[in-house]
Amino acid sequence: MNDLSFDIAVIGGGASGLMAALAAHGTNPALRIGVLEKLPRVGKKLMATGNGRCNLTNVNASPADYHGDVAFMESAMRRFPPLAVLERFKAFGVYPLVEDSGRVYPMSGQASSVLDALRLSLAEAGVEEICECEAVSLEPGPFWRIRAKDGRTICARRVILAAGGMTAPSLGGGASGYRLLEALGHRVTPRLPALVQLKTDPVAVRALKGIKYDGQIDILVDNRLMRSETGEVLFTEYGLSGPPVLQLSRIAAAALSRRNKPVVTARLHILPFKGDDIRGMLAARRSQLSARSLENFLTGLVNKRLGQTLVKLACPLPLTAASSALTDAHLAALSALLAGWELEITGTQGFEQAQVTAGGVRTGDFDPDTMESRRAPGLYVTGELYDIDGDCGGFNLQWAWASGLAAGEAAAKALKN
């Protein structure tokens, strides 16, 4: 096989890699730039973002929306904030639609159109896509040597590593980028799935599979409230899902990864009232619907199956019994469940289901202005490889774009002399 030579080789054809290649070309159009992608096509993960709509960014992005080595982000996010990123996309032909929440989607409503626009821009810039080319080793030097899994050698004056994190292995996620960095002396923290579903005792939730409630959910670690979210919570055969659950999952994953595992609990606020108010409501219901069976005591107030599950947890009576059989103690127990049903979290789903990787390469060995490695000058790193991850809502793609822009511009400027 013929060897390849580039001024800049970008390893990884995901969001940050494609943006880095375009930024490098925009900074120095004379450079020969290649994107090396291990899959048959670039951008497969991008196609899955935003439920196929591609949540491009969030105009309200701030440090509070991120976790890990957040201070490292300041320079790139200041130079390439969401509005600046959106101007770039307009230049690629993608027009944004900003929702009230701050989330931004392409006007087309299709992630595929975003990828198409990026690829068209790459082709127009003369950037080469080399697919089914997985980098397995990096050898520093005036000309970096990238050894591919199929035996090819790619030479480049500068390398941008944009290999992504561990999420969605079927879409290209994996540990290859971390291995390349560790071989060059970089330190990598333990990695955990984040923005992912939570597991509970399946016996507690199996009968509720497919049921949702719209309300608040808290995450507690050793009975200490860590964070609350609101939205649609979905019961599954293994535990809990839905947007608010994904937001809370990082806290649960981090806590459960500790050597001395704490007790992690999800508290579900099925009804948006305090316990005393719910108890009064239930007492009135017992009086008004005294002949109604317990099977339907909560019907009309919550989902029927959910109501039956909570009634069975609260009192040892058969569901065929009349509601008049409920004691004040039963009502107190049932009101407590409706106000805050607590389920112990036993784990999370894995990287295949996760949207982002928590943990990654430590930022201390990189220049925050350029994304260049201090241990291996000439190497730039972007996006999810860092020990940085964001909440759900466009924040992770914003970091991918910003870090890609910073790395691409810096690599190209370094070759102007």
Longest dimension (CA), the chain: 87
**Would you state the pLDDT for residue 171?**
85
Q: What is the 3-state secondary structure (H, E, C) of 158-225?
A: EEEECCCCCCCHHHCCCCHHHHHHHHCCCCECCCEEECCCEECCHHHHHHHCCCEEEEEEEEEECCEE
Residue 297: inside a domain, yes or no?
Answer: yes
**pTM check: above 0.85:** yes
CA nearest neighbour of 19 among 417, 415, 412, 351: 412
Q: Are residues 74 and 161 in the same domain?
A: yes
Q: Are residues 218 and 301 in the same domain?
A: yes
Q: Are residues 245 and 391 in the same domain?
A: no
Residue 355: inside a domain, yes or no?
Answer: no
**Would you state the pLDDT for residue 51?**
86
Question: Taking a C-beta distance cutoff of 8 angstroms, is the pair 244, 255 a contact?
Answer: no
Q: Are residues 25 and 51 in the same domain?
A: yes
Tokens linked to 61: 């992005």
166: region left, alpha or beta (phi > 0 left; psi from -120 to 50 alpha) = alpha
Q: Are residues 145 and 8 in the same domain?
A: yes
Residue 354: inside a domain, yes or no?
Answer: no
Residue 123: inside a domain, yes or no?
Answer: yes
Domain that holds residue 151: 4-191+360-414
How many separate domains does the chain show? Answer: 2
* Boundary of a domain, candidates 299, 323, 349: 349
* Boundary of a domain, candidates 295, 318, 349: 349
Flag residues of the chain having pLDDT under 70: 1-3, 417
Q: Please, which residues have CB within 8 angstroms of residue 385's CB and are 6 or more apart in sequence? A: 161, 162, 163, 164, 165, 177, 178, 181, 360, 361
Residue 12, domain CATH: 3.50.50.60
Q: Are residues 50 and 183 in the same domain?
A: yes
* Boundary of a domain, candidates 320, 349, 378: 349
Q: Are residues 8 and 110 in the same domain?
A: yes
Radius of gyration of the chain (CA): 25
Q: Please, which residues have CB within 8 angstroms of residue 246's CB and are 6 or more apart in sequence? A: 195, 196, 197, 355, 392
**Would you state the pLDDT for residue 1?**
38
Distance, CA of 215 to CA of 226 (rounded, Å): 17
Residue 225: inside a domain, yes or no?
Answer: yes
* Beta strands 4-11 and 33-37, pairing class: parallel
Q: Are residues 340 and 218 in the same domain?
A: yes
One-letter amino acid at 167 equals T
Question: Taking a C-beta distance cutoff of 8 angstroms, is the pair 35, 24 a contact?
Answer: no
Query: 213: which strand partners?
Result: 233
Residue 234: inside a domain, yes or no?
Answer: yes
Question: Taking a C-beta distance cutoff of 8 angstroms, is the pair 32, 155 a contact?
Answer: no
DSSP state of 141: S
Residue 65: inside a domain, yes or no?
Answer: yes
Question: Taking a C-beta distance cutoff of 8 angstroms, is the pair 157, 378 a contact?
Answer: yes
Q: Are residues 62 and 184 in the same domain?
A: yes
Q: Are residues 218 and 295 in the same domain?
A: yes
Q: What is the DSSP string of 371-383?
A: -BBSSSTTEEE-G
CA nearest neighbour of 178 among 197, 191, 196: 191
Beta strands in 20-81, from DSSP E residues, in sequence order = 33-37, 57-58, 66-68
Q: Are residues 366 and 395 in the same domain?
A: yes
Question: Taking a C-beta distance cutoff of 8 angstroms, is the pair 57, 394 a contact?
Answer: yes
Location of structure tokens 């201390």:
364
Q: Are residues 209 and 345 in the same domain?
A: yes
Q: What is the distance between the terminal CA atoms of the chain, rounded to a whole angstrom? A: 32
**Would you state the pLDDT for residue 3?**
67
Residue 49: inside a domain, yes or no?
Answer: yes
